[in-house]
Amino acid sequence: MAHLNELTSIEDLTRALDESEQRQVLIFKHSNACPISARALSEFRRFLEDADSTGASYNMVTIQEARAVSDEIASRLALAHDSPQAILVRNRRPVWNASHFGITTGSLSDAVRSMR
């Protein structure tokens, strides 16, 4: 299983975005109060079971625990906030994103594979 980093501070987010200059960074925004987000988290975790941890970094922010980080993601990446939301970042720019039922094991795998 690929390692999952929890983004709990703006500094964590900055490090993840810095890392996107070297390799892909996938950020998953999760709401622990939403059943659709729970389903998307299950898909995300299933994806991580077979994910290649050498070609990408995998990160998660739980909105209720790190609202400032979630807001900063939307601001820095110029993306409307959604929850759940998966965002693939390369060179500090979003190259793919999906939300709600668009977040599946297959869509995550396809995105990471196609953006290498």
Tokens, residue 116: 């290498």
Are the C-beta atoms of 16 and 59 separated by less than 8 Å? yes
**CATH code for the domain of 47:** 3.40.30.10
Q: Tens digits of per-residue pLDDT, 10-50?
A: 999 999 999 999 999 999 999 999 999 999 999 999 999 99
Q: Tens digits of per-residue pLDDT, 85-113?
A: 999 999 999 999 999 999 999 999 999 99
Q: What was the pLDDT predicted at 55?
A: 82
Placement of tokens 């998307």 in the chain: 40
Domain that holds residue 46: 4-114
Provide the 3-class DSSP secondary structure of residue 63: coil
Number of domains into which the chain is organized: 1
Q: Tens digits of per-residue pLDDT, 37-83?
A: 999 999 999 999 999 877 899 999 999 999 999 999 999 999 999 99
Question: Which one, of 73, 68, 75, lies nearest residue 88 by Cα?
Answer: 73
